[in-house]
Structure 1
Amino acid sequence: MEAEAEGPDLGVLAGQLMRALQEELFRRLAEEGHPGVRPRHGTVLAFLDRSGLRATELSARSGQHKQIVGSIVDELVALGYVRREPDPADRRAKRVVPTEHGLDEIAKARAILADIERRHRRHLGDERFAAFRETFQEIVRDQRGWGDS
């Protein structure tokens, strides 16, 4: 029989980390001129670059259903963060493209997250932080492939 892990399980820890990161990220984004953006908007904004993506690509990258992505895109259009444009590769398809306001949010979010990572790296030291990231990525890969074995 396996020994029980001490403390919260992996799901609880991952959830706590996500909520704590989001709390800091979105508080700081609000202070930097983006008070309307919410954690759910990260489903779209976290994956966009200047050229944009189709909703189906955003859905695949984020792991969210296309309908949820579409609803989030609608919110972001209303907030002025993205616009829908015809896809040059297929005029029937639409790309979700960030506006200048959206690009500003994306750049600030990435800078804030990099700052958070630097803080944790300083706290843990380079070697421990690198080992943590590598291990965490391995666990994510293994968990994503749970049904493959």
Structure 2
Amino acid sequence: MRRSERKQQDPDLGVLASRLLFAVQGELFAALAEQGHAGLRPQHGAVLAYLDAEGSRATDLARQSGQHKQVVGKLLDELEALGYVERRPDPSDRRAKLIVPTALGLDQMARSDAIVAAIEERAAASVGEAAYASFKSLLRQVAASSRSLR
């Protein structure tokens, strides 16, 4: 059996995870575009998914997202130019900057939360609430164990 056929019939964890990621991102960013956030791209999710409403440090965003600081810095520059975030002095450390969502950023965060909740509700309805809860629990465990192997 050819490798491509095997991947279709019995996809590995990476293939399954990427299919799920791309499906969720596709639906999320299409819905956001329809709701007035057309300038956002899935790459921006590396920052927006981890941004606190009260503000976050860029180093924390990089650590949480698993992205290099330079990548996060570029995404922050783009999001700042699009009007989603602003950089402010961190009151607890004058040398550091806080990345704080603007009103547009807060709107995007609320809409994203609602869209993802709807995606999850639909998934739970399709496989059953208990099965979906078990799936999420197992996925969290696999993700946590993957991080510990690094």
Report the counterpart of residue 146 of structure 1 in structure 2: 149
C-alpha separation in 2, matches of 1:58 and 1:115: 25
* RMSD between superposed Cα atoms in Å: 1.3
Structure 2, unmatched stretches of 5+, are 1-5
Report the counterpart of residue 99 of structure 2 in structure 1: 96
Q: How do residues 1-149 of structure 1 correspond to structure 2 at under 5 angstroms?
A: 7-147=10-150
Please give the per-residue CA displacement for 1:18-67, whole angstroms capped at 9, x wherever unaligned.
00100000000000110001111011111112211110011111111111
Instruction: Give secondary structure in 2 for the equivalent of 1:103.
Output: helix
C-alpha separation in 2, matches of 1:113 and 1:50: 17
- Please identify runs of 4+ aligned residues in structure 1 that moved more than 2 A: none
Instruction: Give secondary structure in 2 for the equivalent of 1:84.
Output: strand
* Aligned residues with identical type, % of pairs: 52
Instruction: Give secondary structure in 1 for the equivalent of 2:26.
Output: helix
Letter in structure 2 aligned against 1:63: G
Letter in structure 1 aligned against 2:42: P
Structure 1, unmatched stretches of 5+, are none
How many residues are matched? 144
TM-score between both structures, scaled by the size of structure 1: 0.93
